[in-house]
Amino acid sequence: MKITIRQEITEDHKAVFELIEKAFKDEVYSDHTEQFLVERLRMSKAFEPALSIVAEVDNKIVGHILLTKVKIKNGDDEFDSLALTPVSVLPDYQRKGVGRKLIEQAHQKAKELDFKSVLVLGHEAYYPKFGYQQANNFGIKFPFDVPPENCMAIELVENVLSGVSGTVEYPEEFSS
């Protein structure tokens, strides 16, 4: 199966909306509104177009990932980071390496844009495969009442999070 990864364009929005809806449909932890979150985040000043990425197989969009700009704040100190918000693969195309390609490509693009870390609230069995570890190992807290094993971070540049601690501040579109 040939998977093509490219930046999302405006014409993809409808297909991406539908794919996110389908990807999360049977996920028990989901509130099934992730497709609306992505629509709001595209309108946010935290949106970075180069980090909204789609995967295509036979010219059909089968996966999407969005990394959004966030800050880690500690009093007057703040540190720029990204949040993975979210990654989705159509059910028929899951477990075929599409998610992996999207995450690896998104990390690569983020590095090219000089971002140095990514945070995620997600499956504790999935993201460690890509190098994510519990965010509290770095002293980073998420503003949600969720188990610590679901709050994760990856350094895109070695040791960049040592010495960074604080609470993640998401764009306001997260809670609208």
Ligand X SMILES: CC(C)(COP(=O)(O)OP(=O)(O)OC[C@H]1O[C@@H](n2cnc3c(N)ncnc32)[C@H](O)[C@@H]1OP(=O)(O)O)[C@@H](O)C(=O)NCCC(=O)NCCS
Shortest distance in whole angstroms from residue 138 CB to ligand X = 19
Shortest distance in whole angstroms from residue 117 CB to ligand X = 17
Give long-range contacts, CB 8 A cutoff, 24+ apart: 66-70.
66/38, 66/41, 67/106, 67/110, 67/115, 67/118, 68/41, 68/44, 68/170, 68/171, 69/171, 70/46, 70/119, 70/168, 70/169, 70/170, 70/171
Contact mark string toward ligand X, 136..175, x via CB under 6 A: ----------------------------------------
Q: Would you say 39 or 73 has its CB closer to ligand X? A: 39
Q: Find the residue with minimal CB distance to ligand X.
A: 99
Give me 76's structure tokens. Answer: 């007057």
Q: Would you say 14 or 129 has its CB closer to ligand X? A: 129
Asked if residue 148 lies in contact with residue 134, where contact means CB atoms within 8 angstroms, the answer is yes
Shortest distance in whole angstroms from residue 121 CB to ligand X = 7
Binding residues (CB under 6 A) for ligand X: these are 23-24, 27, 86-89, 94-100, 122-123, 125-126, 129
